[in-house]
Structure 1
């Protein structure tokens, strides 16, 4: 049975950038320029701070004078403490999955996700239910869709992850402990779009349902 996200997805929100193959490929030319001269070799992480949390049905405020972009993503809820977990054991530490809309201002650099772009009030919407892992047997073959005013604006599949869920958990838990209730936001695919006040924004993930938020002016 699904469980309320407000009861079990209560920990830190860890975002993973560049976790879709198409997005990574589209930025390779940029990454090969100085000063880095190569793509990131480890997961590129950012944190959505507690003030960013909002829920299904709540309005999201578009900052005045800024572009606002939704970010459809699969959220992975940690079910028990994970420290130095082997990849083959990682899914045993997952309680379930939810839908995330990781709102952001446009990102200038994926190497250094900006707090100003990522951590505005209400910039991380979570669906109201966590679907248990046993009810999502094919987490790496889920269809994500972003709809704006009923029109599909983004569509992709978790089959295009750069790093699988077990690999993410293994790599992150190698240097930091993941706790029960933490949420891994597994990445937003390429093709982010702008939304404006008055827009109705929906994220759908196959088998998980939908998450809806309206956009309002500051």
Structure 2
């Protein structure tokens, strides 16, 4: 059995908001206004519930009245259960990485990512994992969003605020991470709106791609 086939991605899916400098910078002034009047000190977590799981090639259904946005992100796949792991030891708990389209409705508050925006059916398209040993220069990977073959968004992990190792250290301080869990490392600034009939493809250097067609509910 190959190393690839041994990587499980069947666990919980946790997301990190605001992990790109470009996105954070665009909202920094807002964070210092009421009601919060302070910037987040720790990772802002959200969860993608089991019903959000989807695969490349399957349709994504949107409600007619709602705006659906693509979310290119790298998923960090946990390979060894851990709690309270240090940043220096965190890499040993990473089995691999995976392309994910973290679909969402527009968010009203990044401090409290909404369940309605994040957790609708099919809103998390998970690709095929790539072993950590097969990925080089993780901090300089390009993420691209194509809609109907046209490049609509591009970002780079060079803009990460926290590395996967930092994220694992901070999350594992207060909850365990188990084999097969996926941590989504955030999306760059500039989410793209998707319409019924659109084909959306997320491409990430070294990790491959996922492609889905958007359908409108009832059609």
Fold conserved between structures, TM > 0.5: yes
Aligned to 1:191: 190
Contact 1:19 1:186 (8 Å CA) reproduced = yes
Instruction: Give the distance between the partners of 1:4 and 1:50, measured in 2 at CA.
Output: 21
Q: Deviations over 1:121-180 (max 9, x none)?
A: 0000001x2100100022111110011111111111111101111000000001110000
Residues 12 and 206 (structure 1 numbering): CA distance in 2 closer, same or farther, change over 3 Å?
same
Alignment of 1:119-134 (within 5 A): 119-127=119-127, 129-134=128-133
Task: Measure how far apart 1:3 and its partner are.
Answer: 2.5
Q: Unpaired segments of 5 or more residues in structure 1? A: none
Contact 1:2 1:130 (8 Å CA) reproduced = no
What secondary structure, in the 3-state scheme, does the structure 1 residue paired with 2:188 have? coil
Instruction: Give the distance between the partners of 1:96 and 1:26, measured in 2 at CA.
Output: 30
Aligned to 2:178: 179
Residues 2 and 159 (structure 1 numbering): CA distance in 2 closer, same or farther, change over 3 Å?
farther
Instruction: Give the distance between the partners of 2:5 and 2:102, measured in 1 at CA.
Output: 19
Alignment of 1:98-113 (within 5 A): 98-113=98-113
Instruction: Give the distance between the partners of 1:8 and 1:202, measured in 2 at CA.
Output: 23
Aligned to 2:153: 154
Aligned to 2:201: 202
RMSD of equivalent CA atoms: 1.2
Instruction: Give the distance between the partners of 2:47 and 2:63, measured in 1 at CA.
Output: 20
Aligned to 2:17: 17
Task: Measure how far apart 1:4 and its partner are.
Answer: 4.9
Indicate whether 1:116 and 2:116 are aligned: yes
The alignment of Structure 1 onto Structure 2 pairs a total of residues equal to 216
Instruction: Give the distance between the partners of 1:62 and 1:131, measured in 2 at CA.
Output: 29
Instruction: Give the distance between the partners of 2:198 and 2:105, measured in 1 at CA.
Output: 16
Aligned to 2:140: 141
Instruction: Compute the TM-score of the two structures, normalised by the length of structure 1.
Output: 0.97
Aligned to 1:43: 43
Contact 1:16 1:44 (8 Å CA) reproduced = yes
Instruction: Give the distance between the partners of 2:14 and 2:157, measured in 1 at CA.
Output: 18
Aligned to 2:164: 165
Q: Unpaired segments of 5 or more residues in structure 2? A: none
Instruction: Give the distance between the partners of 2:212 and 2:139, measured in 1 at CA.
Output: 25
Question: Which 4+ runs in 1 deviate beyond 6 A?
Answer: none
Task: Measure how far apart 1:23 and its partner are.
Answer: 0.2
Task: Measure how far apart 1:2 and its partner are.
Answer: 6.0
Task: Measure how far apart 1:204 and its partner are.
Answer: 0.3
